[in-house]
Chain A
């Protein structure tokens, strides 16, 4: 039988949120890219929650957008409700979340892919990775293999120079609804059952994770009068920095809030033995931070109720998503449990809640560039790397796509650090820390979050996107202009001194602010908790009109200057250790004074910097001191081998 052989630059395996970003980045950077999916109809599918963004995830979407990714633009085209979460709290935790029309989101993304130059969509299951031994093999380098292509189930070979694995939850997937088990991917889609074996034979370590999704209900069977209606924001802020805000002021669809009660919890407790997790049928580890309703009832046993949000799945469907009540309990228990919730008494379930189990990797096998340490040219992103969530997946897909392209261009790959982006935190955590459950982005994971705000993602990352080649010259110049406007205005506020005139004192009195004794700069007044930049316009006669986003940055940077400065100091300290690079060929066995556990961990993780090494669990500060001493004594010298 004649074997079909195709040639391209990069193969992307999987067309979910990671795969789409990866493939678009590669194709946009000029590489002939083929994206594989088991079903073209499932491109950018949202098999779980019908929203994009949320606390810390909204940050990720903004960062993806700033770097030149697609997710933000796509949700701006297809959202049906939008809200800035935590707007009563500090600017660091403001987070944008939009309800998506799922079908539209998927369709819009497919359209973008289909019209992207250099990008080919192929419906096929990739079964095998093709690798070659490299000449670069050395005693201290694990990198003895490089990727040369992939093979599909039908036997076609695609020769390529880089592969990005974004298999999501499809590898050897099985879905569980109580005792009922099906061997499919999400939504009954075909699972990918062959690639795991190929990965194992290449020496890649696999593990098994699980996640779950709640039921979908028929809108007509729900009584919304017993729930609290949840509206979108009056003035919608788009996700993408390139979307014109005036274009997203649409008529929004409401969500609804209701609560579980003791009756709900009693039913769950009484049937815990029928839950595949508690009965031990599920071997995969689930996400602690996106818990099933069973988990919540067990974990927060003192709470007499939990929030349940009823969210529309789209404009052209009656299906409603029951957020906060994902479950793997059997169908009869699910129905009984859901029907105890006010408003859901007569609910009809369209799709049952289920848990899904799948193969993924231990991401310590990856460099922070998302390239496999052991196989040159093999990259991966998304749930395959042990994360959870659309946004986390898209962020990794984008970075994997960028780095695969930079790799082919022979340029230095990018690693965002923890002080640059949530994406940096996400990837550093994945490849450095031990994760025993699907990794979900959370605000608390970012230690420098006051700097990593969703409002300044463009200021932080546009330049990197520009240097990579995904952000246009025009967009980049716009950001530079914005930066300049912000700096000029801040300088003006600091240099404009107002005296203790009657007008000023009257203004202060009206705003419950202490009167001035001597002159003060406008910046000093903005620092007062009770005053804002906007309020000051009354006494700030020199002020020129500025764009809203510039005014926002000015206010935040002036008002929180002290805090931002202190965080910058912390970053400085952190960066010192990040800058101490560890040579890739460092032989840890040569450092006799390292403790055994630390040595094993360092060999396994191969950190790229002393900073990364210090975050590996099992590596103590004393080990880091030893490492520093060793590096210091070898600085500028050729590393001795043997």
Chain B
């Protein structure tokens, strides 16, 4: 069967490769940017997490899936008869080594094309868990003639064979590359189709309006557009609102999927590196008592409870004559600009100075949590002092921390005594997930392509409103309604463009 003979793909340069981590990546790390050709071969991979769980599954898909596994599988009568089993049946037996010894006791299920996930012949070997055993069995399958699957290749085949649409295929890719549990949950949700359903619902509403206008154009005698402008205007407004909600969720979704870009700032030696180490649970940054020891920004990705933080520790910000350190400070400023969250560490045992004024200016408008560190020592700088500083720096006439509670807050911690972490986590959740991170009903758009498509749709709808305000004839706003309809179709995989197909294929080839 032809699948994608000699189809040439560019391998993308993503760093995340489950196979490489498991030291199973067939081409290790040399493949970055390399051009490979895909053949109509049979592929195999470990389908379950590589861990010491009880049961593991090795999936084999392709024209020769059955004959390949047949070479290494024997039923309890010691016969190699896998090809005689009916589709969608499961069989007890053994995976044998070349020398005839039993490798593992397994259950093998056979799913014949086209009734499998990939729509190809598929065999799944349910073996005893444990990374080593799974690896051994996979190697046996490879040895028998299969090729190691690329990450996401089963999904790619499922997509190419028409089993799933683009939206679902992308969600699967997201699962493969999910960096934390929440990202995973969102991906699973997207796979189940909640985003799909919402977008489809909005697209159908647009289609209804298009159809109505068209019917009125065709049959003005029976279908009148009198008073329709106002009705459409309301409808457009409500669709735009829904789309914008999805857009907001796109930002939340990115944060869920990719983590929060967090920067730790503060004067030298206030305890920034200690805080980072505390969050990391281990010593990493150089911690000394000499101001200015952290010369360069350190980047770390950590799991803080359910949230992923990409934390950058910066050189302490202060006026400095030291050129090397100056570079660190410049970088800190740059990094702060791109950050989602600022953790501003203040040594509560010391008074604020003009460096703190500079920092406040630097982080203006950013979501900020001010951490009054060293709460174990006697307090010299308190909330009042910080309020005063804000008033002075921004010429602000009021209680800054109270008025801007949605973006600036203050917590007392002791990095040394490991106190205040729970409050910090609660505050981050409150900022980024409106305290509802666990909600099952939230829809998150996590895909950049989806976000772009929604942006396009919103833009089209805005034009419709403008046409309505200018009292343009109805066939004009239907052009932009069509535009919005087409944009949303991209998310559902119902608008197939060549560029899109190419783009998706390059994404499919993530990994290595």
Contact = CB atoms under 8 A, between A and B. Distances in A.
Interface of A: 55, 86, 89-90, 92-93, 289, 296, 300, 303, 306-307, 442-444, 447, 449-450, 529, 560, 563, 566-567, 570, 573, 576-577, 580, 590-595, 598, 614, 620-626, 628-630, 632-633
Given A563-B476, A621-B495, A633-B7, A443 B2 contact: no
Interface in B1-42: 1-8
A314 to B, nearest CB: 25
B471 interface: yes
B479 A443 contact: no
A592 B2 contact: yes
Nearest to B483: A566
Nearest to B7: A633
A444 B218 contact: yes
A89 B3 CA distance: 51
Nearest to A629: B4
B483 A593 contact: no
Most chain B CB within 10 A, of A595, A625, A628, is at: A625
B480 A566 contact: yes
A202 B463 CA distance: 54
B222 interface: yes
B473 interface: yes
Given A566-B483, A633-B5, A306 B221 contact: yes
B441 interface: no
Given A92-B475, A633-B5, A444 B495 contact: no
A621 B165 contact: yes
B501 A300 contact: no
A444 B3 contact: no
A179 to B, nearest CB: 30
Contacts of A576: 497-498
Nearest to A579: B498
A494 B482 CA distance: 29
A300 B4 contact: no
User: What range describes how many residues of B lie at the interface?
Assistant: 35 or more
Contact of B160 (A89, A449, A577, A593): A593
Contacts of A563: 476, 479
B209 interface: no
A89 B218 contact: no
A614 B496 contact: yes
Contacts of A442: 217-218
B463 to A, nearest CB: 8
B402 interface: no
Nearest to A576: B498
Nearest to B467: A563
Nearest to A625: B501
B3 A90 contact: no
A632 B3 CA distance: 13
Given A566-B480, A629-B505, 4 more contacts: A90-B474, A289-B219, A444-B215, A620-B162
Nearest to B210: A444
Contacts of A306: 221-222
State the 7 A-B residue pairs at the shortest beta-carbon distance, nearest first. Answer: A90-B473, A444-B214, A592-B1, A622-B162, A621-B496, A593-B161, A592-B2
B44 interface: no
Nearest to B489: A621
A590 B2 contact: yes
27 contacts: A89-B473, A90-B473, A90-B474, A90-B475, A93-B217, A289-B218, A296-B222, A300-B222, A306-B221, A443-B214, A444-B218, A570-B482, A573-B486, A577-B497, A580-B498, A590-B2, A593-B160, A594-B162, A595-B162, A621-B166, A621-B496, A622-B493, A626-B160, A626-B162, A628-B498, A633-B5, A633-B7
Contact of B475 (A296, A450, A580): A450
B472 A529 contact: yes
Contacts of B486: 570, 573
A55 B214 CA distance: 12
B160 A625 contact: yes
B111 interface: no
Contacts of A570: 479, 482-483, 486
Given A592-B3, A614-B496, A560 B165 contact: no
Given A289-B218, A447-B482, A90 B495 contact: no
A529 B497 contact: no
B159 A622 contact: yes
Contact of B476 (A444, A560, A593, A630): A560
A361 to B, nearest CB: 26
Interface in B93-128: 119
Interface string B327-351: 0000000000000000000000000
Contacts of B218: 55, 289, 442-444
B83 interface: no
B119 to A, nearest CB: 7
A632 B8 CA distance: 9
A614 B501 CA distance: 14
Given A529-B471, A626-B162, A566 B496 contact: no
A114 B486 CA distance: 51
Given A90-B472, A622-B165, A450 B160 contact: no
Contact of A577 (B159, B222, B498): B498
Contacts of B480: 566
A120 to B, nearest CB: 41
A300 B479 CA distance: 28
A307 B482 CA distance: 31
B494 interface: yes
Contacts of B378: none
Contacts of A632: 7
Contacts of A592: 1-3
Contacts of A620: 162
B464 to A, nearest CB: 11
A593 B119 contact: yes
A593 B221 contact: no
B1 to A, nearest CB: 4
A624 B470 CA distance: 39
A98 B419 CA distance: 88
A486 to B, nearest CB: 21
Contacts of B505: 629
A563 B162 CA distance: 36
A626 B162 CA distance: 8
Contacts of A307: 221
A593 B160 CA distance: 7
B483 A89 contact: no
Contacts of A623: 162
A340 B496 CA distance: 54
A623 B161 CA distance: 8
A630 B166 CA distance: 18
Most chain A CB within 10 A, of B165, B221, B475, B497, is at: B475
B177 to A, nearest CB: 22
A570 B460 CA distance: 13
B164 to A, nearest CB: 8
Nearest to B211: A444
B162 A629 contact: no
A621 B492 CA distance: 10
A633 B165 contact: no
A626 B474 CA distance: 38
B159 A625 contact: yes
A595 B3 CA distance: 12
Contacts of B166: 621, 625
Contacts of A303: 222
B165 to A, nearest CB: 6
Contacts of A633: 4-8
Contacts of A93: 217, 473, 475
A622 B482 CA distance: 21
A594 B473 CA distance: 43
A55 B482 contact: no
Given A593-B160, A621-B165, A628 B501 contact: yes
Nearest to B216: A444
A449 B476 CA distance: 10
Contacts of A626: 160-162
A567 B477 CA distance: 11
